[in-house]
Amino acid sequence: MSSVETKYEHITFNEKGAPIIAETTMKVVEIVSEKIAYGWSPEELHFQHPYLTMGQIHSALAYYYDHADELNKDIEHRLQSIHQYRSQEKTPLRERLRNRGLL
């Protein structure tokens, strides 16, 4: 996997241009999403991801705070994709509800 270094010690870009934590496949947006969704502190993020150092976590959060608009758009796009997929998903329960006019 090729990556490009940034001014953030522990952050590089993957081949698609997404910021990731160096020497991992963890995207910055994934760490940030957990922080936003669960309200996790850096210490809790470390507890949940013990393979990441506190330095890596803080670098990811610093990158986010400096690029919040861009990453928030990425998070919103991901959420829209999930909602779109779920709305098109066909399951027996969804079909019964749709047939009854409840969806």
Q: Rounded mean pLDDT of the chain?
A: 90
Is the pLDDT reported for residue 92 higher than 80?
Answer: yes
How far apart, in Å, do the first and last CA atoms of the chain sit?
44
What does pTM read for this prediction? 0.74
Give the pLDDT confidence score for residue 14 in this predicted structure. Answer: 93
- Domains identified in the chain, total number: 1
What CATH code is carried by the domain that includes residue 72? 1.10.10.10
Residue whose tokens read 């400096």: 66
| pLDDT tier, 93 (very low <50, low <70, confident <90, very high otherwise) | confident
* Cβ neighbours for 22, distance < 8 A, ≥ 6 positions apart: 3, 9, 10, 11, 12, 56
**Tokens, residue 77:** 């796009």
Which of 83, 70, 59 has its CA nearest to residue 6? 59
Structural domain of 85: 4-99
pLDDT (average), residues 48-66: 97
Instruction: Tell me the per-residue pLDDT of 5-37, one tens digit each, with 9 for 90 and over.
Output: 668 899 999 999 999 999 999 999 999 999 999
